[in-house]
Homo-oligomer: A and B are copies of this chain.
Amino acid sequence: MSSKDFKDQENLKISHIGEKKLIKRLLSRSRALQPDSPFFDEFYFKSLSDDAALLNIADNYLVVTSDLLIESSHFPSKMSAYQKGMKVVTVNVSDLAAMGAKPIGFILSLGLPSDLCLKEFDEIMEGVLKACQEYEMGLIGGDTNQSEELILSGTCLGTVNKDKVLMKEGARPGDIVAVTGPLGVAAAGFEVLLYSPPNDDSESNDNKNEKEFEEFTGSLKPTTLELIRKHALQPRARLKEGILLADSGAVTSATDITDGLTSEVGELVEASLDGVGITIFQDMIPIIPEVREVAAVLNKDPLDLALYYGEDFELLLTVREEEFEDLNEEFNLFQVGVVTGSGRMEIVDKDGKTKILEPKGYQHFQ
């Protein structure tokens, strides 16, 4: 290594390697330092590819998930305080839903700017408590701290029977790949909410931007606007579905779609045995007319909204083929592909041509 290389290495920023590599780096260090802890077996079982820690409690796993939301990264300016509060609960509950776990309680750590209005604080808490109520659990702890920007850090506890738990690992060639609802709806909402008009005037100001934003959204049907806004700003976790799907015993693996279909398909493939692949059929991906309408106005490909954006919080599942029809009747699933023995992620386009599906999706730091 030359001294220049070494200097570069010294100055390497986390933005140069991206979120997924950062987490892998962390996990490999973690395993190196914790080779044979007796607690590892006695108390918990952890799949390093899942988004939650699992603890052995008799016939059940206690599932613990933790997710952090930060003003500058996670909250578009049009999201209300109430919606921010709901969202920190929803993102955590969605991790439980993907495992088929039933929530027990929620713990909230807050970072609050000292000039935050008490009214806004109250509204955040209304959102948190309302969401806890809807997902049938209690707010059981928390603390407050001073910070420069708003931080909502949630920890959610749940429980699931060991025989029922859904993991990212488990897909087998021949299984049906399905999702619980249409994709790209939240993405369409974010594209509209974050829309900034092309800047043809260096003196443009907020009022002008607001006016152009209204003109732009005025070109969409009001019902479309309402639907996509709601999906983006007030998403729901597929909790009931997750629990019932786990109960069915027909689901072989699952995850929630937070980073786009492609990225999550990649997660299932990576967690599975060597040689397991997934093929997606473009024509089967559920894209609703409202998403096509927004994509047309924005001159985007609606498929990109479904494949590469996240935040829909639908579940992605693999289901034993012979049980899929029965399950589909009950849950109104959407088949999007099949599990293969190819070891690859592929997509069959609308002309029937098979291409490699590149696993890109939203990553922090990039």
Contact present for A109 and B364 (CB under 8 Å): no
Known contacts A30-B129, A118-B17, A155-B155: A148-B149 contact under CB 8 Å: yes
For residue A287, CB closer than 8 A to chain B, the reply is no
* A107 is an interface residue with CB less than 8 A from chain B: yes
B105 touches A139 (CB 8 A): no
A102's closest neighbor in chain B, by CB? B39
Question: What residue of chain B has the Cβ atom nearest to residue A13's Cβ?
Answer: B115
Within 8 A of B (CB), among A115-130: 115-119, 121-122, 125-126, 129-130
Q: Does A206 make an interface contact (CB < 8 A)? A: no
Q: Does A22 contact B (CB under 8 A)?
A: yes
User: B143 to A66, Cβ gap below 8 A?
Assistant: yes
| CB of A199 within 8 Å of the partner chain | no
The docked-state distance in angstroms from the alpha carbon of A70 to that of B151 is 10
- List B contacts of A46 (CB < 8 A): 138, 140-141
Closest chain B residue to A129, Cβ basis: B33
Task: Point out the residues of chain B lying under 8 angstroms from A145, CB to CB.
Answer: 68-70, 73-74, 364
**CA–CA, A153 and B111, complex, Å:** 10
Main secondary structure of the interface of A (DSSP, over half): mixed
CA–CA, A147 and B114, complex, Å: 18
A220 contact set on B, CB distance < 8 A:
none
Contacting residues, chain B, for A365 (C-beta < 8 A): 112, 114, 144, 146
Asked if A207 CB lies within 8 Å of chain B CBs, one says no
Given known A-B contacts A22-B144, A125-B26, A365-B114, A34 and B133 have beta carbons under 8 A apart: yes
A151 to B71, CA, bound (A): 12
**What 4 A-B pairs are tightest by C-beta distance, nearest first?**
A53-B140, A68-B109, A53-B141, A146-B364
Q: Which residues of A contact B (CB under 8 A)?
A: 10-17, 19, 22-23, 25-26, 29-30, 33-34, 37, 39-40, 43-44, 46, 51-53, 55, 57-58, 62, 64-70, 72-74, 104-105, 107-112, 114-119, 121-122, 125-126, 129-130, 132-133, 136-149, 151, 153, 155, 157, 159, 364-365
Additional pairs, 5, CB under 8 Å, beyond known A46-B140, A66-B141 = A30-B139, A33-B133, A57-B57, A64-B157, A112-B364
